[in-house]
Structure 1
Amino acid sequence: EQASVLNLVTKVQAVLDNLIVDTTNFDAGIDEVRQIGSYKKGTMVTGHNVADVIVILKTHPTREAVQVLAKKLLEMLKLHEPGDSLVMSMLPDDRGFEVSNGEASVRVLITTLHQHLQQLDPDRHLDYKILQSHLAAIRHSRWFEENAHHSTIKVLIRLLRDLRLRFVGFEPLNPWMLDLLAHYAILNNPSRQALPVNAAFRRVLQLLSAGLFLPGSAGITDPCEGANIRVHTAMSLEQQDAVCLTGRRCSGSWGHGGYRQVLGLEGNSCIATEMPVWDGDVVSALDSAYERPPDRSLDKEDGVDGDEDDMDGVVVSALDSAYERPSDRSLDDEDDMVGDEDGMDGDEDGMDGDEDGVDGAD
């Protein structure tokens, strides 16, 4: 597998080098071609016959320039090796293109010079974040070549990549996190001497289970970024909790004799979700500490339309009006006035009766 990848990479590299020298075949112009990824670092695993190459353009990277470069590369490869059955396909998100021959594949990723990043037009050029990530990958490859060339680190990275493929909880760990984690576990110790692979692998499980990549942890500082950026902050809170939880389950199984299941020599990855029994000892599966907050957008919309709003469990009732309009008392006043007049008439009649009584007495 490594021989097939090496053969295809050599051919692609030779064609790209010719395009750098002969600028008439490609108008955009190529400034540099760099190999990155597991192929460059020497950490490839079985079944992943893919090599990554980054092409740095001299001009602004347009989608048309990427398509022209892909067609030109495929044309020149078939010209030099007419017997090879090569297939070219464009990568999603306009990252670049891929050339494969059935046995191996080479991904050609596109980026540009640093001074062109601030002059990009989103409608014409490739995405800014994609170009920036490709430049970061070059920095990662250069740092690894200078600081992590120890053979033990490369072996441990292969073990961690296999562990990531078998356990779902470790999937959020990207290759750059695995590189830094392996380097930290082997070389960052009081003696400053490289640990053997067996001790370093167990230390990785202990670090993850202890919460190295949890919120608020010191974590591992990204050596390729200017600010003090922790690499685990690229994961969401739910992913950080899943990594820690899976690390605890694997570390517990390893400590009770289940190392063959952790390494994938026996069984499957069920030890991360079930309760395995090792020599009568039950390793219970821990519950997740992170709970996704409920989506309250629909509840808020319903509360606005109704008479009562339920905001975070507090019921706010609709208040009644404090002002009461007084009743119209004009008719009642008229009736009272009429009644008073009747009463006054009655009083006059009574007075007449009294006068008659006085006359009778006389």
Structure 2
Amino acid sequence: MVMQRGGIGRGRGMGRGRGAPGRNLPFIPHVPFDIVLAEPAFPPVRSIPAPVEEAFMAALVKRNQDLTPSEKESSAIINLVYKVQGVLDTLIITPGAFDSCQIEEVRQVGSFKKGTMTTGNNVADLVVVLKTLPTKEAVEALGNKIWESLKVKEPKEVLTMLPNERGFDLSNTEATARILVTTIPPNLKKIEPTLHIDAKLLQSAHAAVRHSRWFEESAQQPTIKNLVRLLHDLRKRFAGFAPLTPWMLDLIAHYAILNNPGRQALPLTQSYRRVLQLLSAGFFLPGSAGISDPCEGGQVRIHTVMTLEEQDLVCLTAQTLLRVLSHGGYKQILGIEGNSSIASEMSVWDGVVVNPLERAYEKPADSQVEEDMEAEEGDMETE
């Protein structure tokens, strides 16, 4: 069922969920077919053989262990974050002669805070909320102040500070603390593009704080963290999943594990497979209810930040990989064997040929048509 090309919006033109142009029909989002929610109405004809499921679980556990940062990596990033956090806390309490900016608070965010970091990506994110306006000069001065303070404590340590459009990075030879700078909400109206950090970047830093708080409150189930780590790896290895943001991965992992009739956490094998089934069925396509962002008052469906082309690409990639998984190719999907070519080249599994699917969506020749469709989707989000 999920392998067919006729999922939500998978036909020619990627149906938008409204009637014909010019008809003011109400937008009613659809819920794509989900075998987990529909299981009472569709009793399984045959279950997956126990040895196959056990082998799949063992592979998932092994892959998660390989992706989990080593003790050395973990110690390195924890030590750096502890040092940086200490300097920032001191600047909040006793800024002394430093007057380039005033700090309201500091929050740890991202995969480091959530406990979903992957090996080889030893980067921790911290959001620094300023009481003052975030001018580019003030942000760079803050970075230099932290660098100088750390060098005074450990002069022999190799430490670099690199400013960027979001704030700055502080790095030693083993880890990086990525500082995302924003300001208190009342200041956001006063932002001037030529003087301050871009307003969208300031808002995204606030969103990162909300996301981390939600994850801490709602997604501490260990299986969710393991699945998120595995999905990050899947996204990294298959280009078709590149449009998926870390926040989308957090939410779909939480949904796949906990949103079921029994309200009990599903095992890792079933939830991993369910993610591919959901994406294949059009969970992140136009017209789908998808997942409402819990940090935005439920008014925004998370997949609408992707373009129509990106939504199509995610869906067709999931459909191809699900077919591979259905014929026993879990080692190739997990990256234990083979490579990412199974998503873009023909492969054969016990005599069954799996051909990568082609795009169903064709971008209109008139770019204005595309813009109008995107604007219509945005209007529907607020209805």
**Cα separation, partners in 2 of 1:227 and 1:185, compared to 1, 3 Å:** closer
Shift of 1:295: 5.7
Tell me the secondary structure at the aligned position of residue 118 of structure 2.
coil
Distance between the aligned counterparts of 1:274 and 1:121, measured in 2?
Answer: 48
Hey, what does 1:353 align to over in structure 2? none
Equivalence map 1:7-156=2 (5 Å): 7-27=79-99, 28-91=101-164, 94-156=165-227
Cα distance in 1, alignment partners of residues 347 and 367 from structure 2: 38
Aligned to 1:195: 266
Q: CA offsets per residue over residues 253-308 of structure 1, 9 Å max, x none? A: 000111111111110011111121111111222211011233689xxxxxxxxxxx
Larger RCO (CA within 8 A; separation ≥ 6): 2
Aligned counterpart in structure 2 of residue 233 of structure 1, from 300, 304, 318 = 304
Summarize the alignment of residues 294-313 of structure 1 with structure 2, pairs less than 5 Å apart: 294=365
Q: Which residue of 1 aligns with 2:50?
A: none
Give the letter for the 1:245 counterpart. L
Whole-Å separation in 2 of the counterparts to 1:25 and 1:109? 23
- How big is the shift at 1:67? 1.2
- Where do 5+ consecutive residues of structure 1 fail to align? 298-362
Q: Do 1:19 and 1:25's aligned partners in 2 also have CA atoms closer than 8 Å?
A: no
- Could you say if the C-alpha distance between residues 295 and 102 of structure 1 is closer, same or farther in structure 2, counting changes exceeding 3 Å? farther
Distance (whole Å) between structure 1 residues aligned to residue 230 and residue 367 of structure 2: 43
Amino acid across the alignment from 2:300: I
2:40 counterpart residue number: none
Instruction: Please give the TM-score of this superposition, normalised by the length of structure 2.
Output: 0.75
Q: 1:72-120: CA deviations, max 9, x gaps?
A: 11000001111211011112xx210001111100111100001111122
2:10 aligns to what? none
- The CA RMSD over aligned residues, in Å, is 1.2
* Pair member with larger Rg: 1
Deviation per residue, 1:237-257 (Å, 9 max, x gap) = 000000000000110000011
1:140-169 deviation digits (Å, cap 9, x = unpaired): 000000000110000000100000011000
> C-alpha separation between the residues in 1 aligned to 2:266 and 2:160?
44
TM-score between both structures, scaled by the size of structure 1: 0.80
Counting aligned pairs with the same residue, the percent is 60
Paired residue type of 1:110: V
Cα deviations by residue, 1:123-147 (Å, 9 ceiling, x for unpaired): 2222111101100110000000000
**Equivalent position of 2:4 in the other structure:** none
